[in-house]
A and B are shown apart, each in its own frame.
Chain A
Amino acid sequence: MNAQIPSLLSRLSTKSPWLYRINAGSCNGCDVELATTAIIPRYDVERLGCQYCGSPKHADIVLITGPLTVRVKDKVLRLYQEIPDPKVTVAVGVCPISGGVFRDSYAIAGPLDQYIPIDVNVPGCPPRPQAIIEGIAKAIAVWQTRI
C-alpha cells in the first residue's frame, strides 16, 4: 500500500499542476493578464486543472513576467531555486524572452534564458489571455513528460 502511494500521487498530480507567478520587474501588464486568466470566468484557467498558489514550494509550473531587472535578478534566481523539481518554466510576454522595448538597457540583466532554463515562451505585449492559456496548455504537456 505504502509503495503505491507515490505512484498514485504522481499519476494524480499530472492532472493538476499548480501555477506560481514571478514578477521579474514587469510593468504589470502581463500580470494583469495572468490574473485575468484565473479570475474572469470567461477565460478560467482552472478548467485545465491549474490553480495559482502563494508559495514557491507548492509550485509545478512557474510563470515569469518582466525583463529581469538588475535589482530583482538575485531575488528571482533565489526564488526559482526554492521551487522543487520537476518544474516547467513559462516566459510570459516579450520582456523575459528578448527584453522587449527594454532590450540593451543598462538596468536589464536579461534575457531570462541566460540564467533560467525556459520551456515555453508566450510572446506578446501583453499576450492576450487566450494566448497565455495556450502557453499553459503547452506547459502542461511538457509537465506530463517530466513527472
Chain B
Amino acid sequence: MSFFLPVLLRNLLKGPSTEAFPFGEAITPKKLRARISFDPDSCALCRVCARICPAGAIQFEKKPDGLEFNLWHNACVFCGLCALYCESEGLHSTNDWHLSHLQSEKYDLVERATVKFQKCTKCGKQKMPAPLPLMAKLYPGLPADEIERLRAMCPQCRKAETAPAEGEPS
C-alpha cells in the first residue's frame, strides 16, 4: 500500500502518457534521421552519394545540360551516409518522417533536381559546378569575392591561378 499510493498519486497528476498523435502533434526529436533533403546549388556532382548509398536510392542521370539527381524515398534507409560524405553540404537529413502514402503515389516520392554544368570564365570550357561550402573548405581564409572569382573557373584555370608554375607571375 505504501508503495502503490505514490504511484497512483503521480499518475493522477501527470495525466496519460499516450502521445496525442494522430489527433495532435507527435513528439519529434530535432536530430531524427528521416527524409533526406537535397540542395542543387550545393552539389559539386562528385557523385560520392550515389556510390556510398547502401540501398541504391540515389542515382544520377545524364541530361544535355547537366546531371539529374534522383533520390527515391521508398528505397532510402535513413542511414545518413550521403549527408556524412557530402563534402559540399548539399545533402541533409531532416526530421520530417511523414512519408506514408497511398500506393498510387509510390513512384512520386522522389527528390529530383538537375544540377547544370557551368562555363569556365577564363577558358570557356564546360565544367562541374564548384559550390560555395566546398570552396570555403578548400581555400580557408580567402576573401569572399576571391572565392567567388575562383569558383567560376574550371579546375585547370583555378590551379594555374592559385599555384602558378615557377617563373610565372602570380
Interface residues of B in 91-127 (CB under 8 A from A): 97-103, 106, 109
Interface residues of B in 10-32 (CB under 8 A from A): 16-19, 21-22, 26, 32
Interface string of A113-147 (1 = CB under 8 A from B): 10001111111110110111111011000100000
Contact A101 B103 (CB under 8 A): no
Neighbour of B74 across the interface among A47, A94, A128, CB < 8 A: A94
Contact A125 B78 (CB under 8 A): yes
Contact B26 A130 (CB under 8 A): yes
Neighbour of A120 across the interface among B19, B100, B109, CB < 8 A: B100
Given contacts A128-B97, A130-B97, A138-B102, A94 and B76 within 8 Å (CB-CB)? yes
Residue B46 is within 8 A (CB to CB) of chain A in the complex:
no
Contact B56 A131 (CB under 8 A): no
Please give me the residue from chain B that is nearest to A104 by CB atom. Answer: B56
**A124 vs B78: C-alpha distance in the bound complex, in angstroms?**
7
Neighbour of A121 across the interface among B77, B97, B101, CB < 8 A: B101
Residue B60 is within 8 A (CB to CB) of chain A in the complex:
no
Contact B99 A131 (CB under 8 A): yes
Q: Which residues of chain A come closer than 8 Å to B17, judged between CB atoms? A: 41-42
Interface string of A100-118 (1 = CB under 8 A from B): 1101100000000100011
Given contacts A41-B17, A99-B75, A101-B54, A118 and B100 within 8 Å (CB-CB)? no
Instruction: Tell me, rounded to whole Å, the shortest Cβ–Cβ distance linking B76 to chain A.
Output: 7
Q: Which residues of chain A come closer than 8 Å to B77, judged between CB atoms? A: 94, 100-101, 125
Residue B73 is within 8 A (CB to CB) of chain A in the complex:
yes
Contact A121 B26 (CB under 8 A): no
Please give me the residue from chain A that is nearest to B100 by CB atom. Answer: A135
Q: Which residues of chain A come closer than 8 Å to B76, judged between CB atoms? A: 94, 123, 125
Please give me the residue from chain B that is nearest to A142 by CB atom. Answer: B102
Contact A98 B102 (CB under 8 A): no
**A132 vs B21: C-alpha distance in the bound complex, in angstroms?**
11
Best-surrounded residue of B16, B73, B79 (most CB of chain A within 10 A): B73
Contact B22 A119 (CB under 8 A): no
**A44 vs B97: C-alpha distance in the bound complex, in angstroms?**
19
Binding site for B on A (CB under 8 A): 41-44, 47-48, 94, 97-101, 103-104, 113, 117-125, 127-128, 130-135, 137-138, 142
Binding site for A on B (CB under 8 A): 16-19, 21-22, 26, 32, 34, 54-56, 72-79, 97-103, 106, 109
